[in-house]
Amino acid sequence: MNAKMHAFCLVILSAGPASAQLHGGDVDLTVSGGKIVTGQRVYGAELGEILPNEVDEPGFDSDPGTFPAGSSVGFAFVDSLRVWDGIDFDEIAPLTMSTQFGSSLGPVTTPSTPGVVEGFALNVAADGSWHRHLDYLLNPPATNGVYLLSLKLGSSDPTIGDSEPLYLVFNQNVDESVHDAAIDYVKARVAGIPEPASVVLLAVLGAALGKRRRI
């Protein structure tokens, strides 16, 4: 093995364990600027892949040392569950979604009117990492559609601020092209907006502008 190849192998071997810490598809968590930061703000998931109306993706994951040992990380819903109408997520869904962790914590259910619902917290590992998968259940009548769940993450450590809102777009037995269109909408219209009320306002303004263009 020549010197260049030896150096290349050392780089791969040293990088491998660190990059293997995080699970693909999970929400990648870091702490930056004194608050929790997510790798991105919008994630899609398919309900019913294992159990009807339910999924435990996306999970949450972070590298060791991200959070103080002995602390915990929790969540809060920051809006009602919303349903895709083919144009936007203005409409509040006529059903709710619940989140729990196994049989020990929850369920915590989205509010029927816009508001904040505090969830539960789970302990950080001894090495400062946090890798958890919550169960998301679309409650009866579990109608087919694409649904938007908005939440924030927070740490029990008072020096770490909450994350920006995180948007999970769930598909319940709808064609994947529809799901993709809804995800693209959220990425374009929602991800940069910090408050759910502003999200609705932006959607309404966008629809109004669209109507003007068609006149």
pLDDT above 50: residue 159: yes
Bridge partners (DSSP) listed for residue 37: 30
Q: Which whole-number Å values give the CA distances from 144 to 79, 94, 140, 192, in the listed order?
A: 20, 12, 11, 28
Single-letter amino acid, residue 86: G
- Give residues with Cβ within 8 angstroms of 72, minimum separation 6: 121, 122, 123, 124, 155, 156
- pLDDT, tens digit, 9 for 90 and up, residues 173-194: 999 999 999 999 999 986 554 4
Strands (DSSP E) contained in the chain are: 27-32, 35-38, 42-46, 54-55, 60-62, 72-77, 82-83, 97-101, 105-109, 117-123, 135-138, 145-155, 166-172
- 49 or 140: which leads in pLDDT: 140
- pLDDT, tens digit, 9 for 90 and up, residues 47-66: 998 899 999 999 999 999 99
- Mean residue pLDDT across the chain: 83
User: Does the predicted model carry a pTM greater than 0.85?
Assistant: no
What is the topology classification, in CATH, of domain 24-214? Immunoglobulin-like (2.60.40)
